Amino acid sequence: MTDEELRRLAEEVESLSPDAIQVLEREIARRGLDISLVVPAIGIDRIEGLELITIRRFRDLPEAVLAKGMLHSAGIECFLEDDNIVRMDWFYSNAVGGIKLQVSPEDVASAIEILQQPIPENFEVDGLGEYQQPRCPECNSLDIVFEELNEGVAYGSAYLGLPLPVHEKGWKCKTCGHRWEDAKAPAGEEG
């Protein structure tokens, strides 16, 4: 293309794909032309080339999405890498190094501080009153999760090509690994 053709193409940049825009930018720079592109913000992903730092890795998508939500609610822009691979087939999570939570270098300290905040013992729930966070009966930790899937059977059967979602409701402590069943299911888990 001639320089003039590149100039006209630069004026119609909204019709180009993100890859085509990159090629156009490189060619303009290679030729040393004084052409500036006005790239519309809507519909074009411009985070490529943005320096991001991985601050945490997650095996499971729900935990990664919660952490991302915490940072977004605090006004920190963050991104999940490899979340779509894990979303398509969670069996690949370990192979790709988990889902990576990434932030810009200037937000690293704030983001880590937010993610390291302690789990509250209780909090107010609109319409229900005060919610008391359950604790591990072994180590008294608040870092517990309610699990419904027997991961051993699920992973083993997925490896064999026949995923069997065997359900086994119960609590698991993320601190000491202790598992237990509770007489009452957590709110919203009855049934």
- Scored b (16 or more CB within 10 A) or e, 123-147 reads eeeeeeeeeeeebbeeeeeeebeee
Tally of domains within the chain = 3
pLDDT for 22 beyond 70:
yes
How far CA 113 is from CA of 67, 116, 141, in Å, comes to: 12, 5, 20
Same domain, 36 and 69: no
Same domain, 103 and 146: no
Q: Among residues of the chain, what percentage have pLDDT more than 70?
A: 78
Same domain, 63 and 100: yes
Same domain, 16 and 39: yes
188 domain-assigned: no
161 domain-assigned: yes
Rounded mean pLDDT of the chain? 79
67 domain-assigned: yes
Same domain, 9 and 30: yes
15 domain-assigned: yes
Calculate mean pLDDT across residues 143-172: 67
176 domain-assigned: yes
124 domain-assigned: no
Same domain, 28 and 1: yes
Same domain, 170 and 137: yes
For residue 67, the domain's CATH number is 3.30.70
Q: pLDDT tens-digit profile of 81-117?
A: 988 888 887 777 778 888 999 999 999 999 999 999 8
189 domain-assigned: no
40 domain-assigned: yes
Give the range of the structural domain holding residue 163, as residue numbers without chain letter. Answer: 132-180
Which of 140, 142, 145 minimizes the C-alpha distance to 132? 142
pLDDT for 43 beyond 50:
no
Task: Please say whether the beta carbons of 52 and 26 come within 8 A.
Answer: no
